[in-house]
Amino acid sequence: MSTRIGIDAGGTLTKIAYWDEKKEMSFRSFLSSDFKAVKDWLDTNHSLASICLTGGRAEQLKKYLSSKNEIPYIVEFDATMNGVMYQLKEDVISSDSAIIANIGTGTSIHIMQGDSHSRLGGTGVGGGTLVGLGSALTGIMNYKDIIKLSNEGKRNSIDILVSDIYQHNKLPIKGSLTASNFGGVALKSDEARNSSDLLAGVQGIIGEVVATLCIQAADAHLLEDIIYIGSTLEENKLLQEIIESYTILKQKKPIFLEKHGYSGAIGALLENK
């Protein structure tokens, strides 16, 4: 069967968006460390497909798919924004101007104003941090296991809250805010903690760092909406909750799209005409 396919080859995951037999958009993902699985899936299911690539590892994947000639490429930021705007329309979400955080292996932050967009900056904190720091602290390396265990953890003994510092004193700011990520490991050394708690703490670092940077960007550009996307949000309820609560606390509007991690792949698919 011949079809059109958009592929976003990221640092951790390779995401695929394509039109199925019912002309509905479908999705697949593979580890970017296993391009053979990507090629095998394409050869088995879509050997005659027209492909458009994007993502940081697109050129590496293109060379691996050497039998497929003239594979076009779309700049990752353009593909991502196209995918975001498509999803906003599909999900009937009204947002003409917004800050966009793409939380992949690291995090890239953009501003969208109408049909135009530009990159504002970013941070190395992202999904790679979750896997790298999480495995260093607990020895657990499987991404899905890290996500599952972190959702079972509590950050009480991991972080220092504002209320921990200002005990019996008048609080200058909301007491539930984090005063120090992982500061509680030293300050609360007598409290019991396990791998789930440590992993929840890592999620806290990622969520609060990303949300803080986006909130500052939104303030600087007088915007209210912040759209959070990226593969690190896929099936990651805890990270979404951390980002959502902190964004709302700072009086901004968090928006989560249904296909968090596939915006780049969707944009590549839409470009593949």
Is residue 258 flagged as an active site residue?
no
Beta strands in 78-213 (DSSP E): 97-103, 107-113, 116-123, 160-161, 178-180
Distance CA 181, CA 157 (A): 10
Distance CA 64, CA 38 (A): 10
Name the burial class of residue 247, with classes exposed (0-12), middle (13-18) and buried (19+) by CB atoms within 10 angstroms of its CB. buried
Helix (H, G, I), strand (E, B) or coil at 255: strand
From the list 24, 76, 152, 224, the catalytic residue is: 76
| Contact (Cβ atoms closer than 8 angstroms) between residue 81 and residue 98 | no
Distance CA 135, CA 133 (A): 5
For residue 104, what are the CA distances in angstroms to 66, 86, 229?
26, 19, 8
The runs of H, that is alpha helices, within 91-194 are: 127-138, 143-150, 162-165, 184-187
Q: Would you name the residues annotated as active-site residues?
A: 76
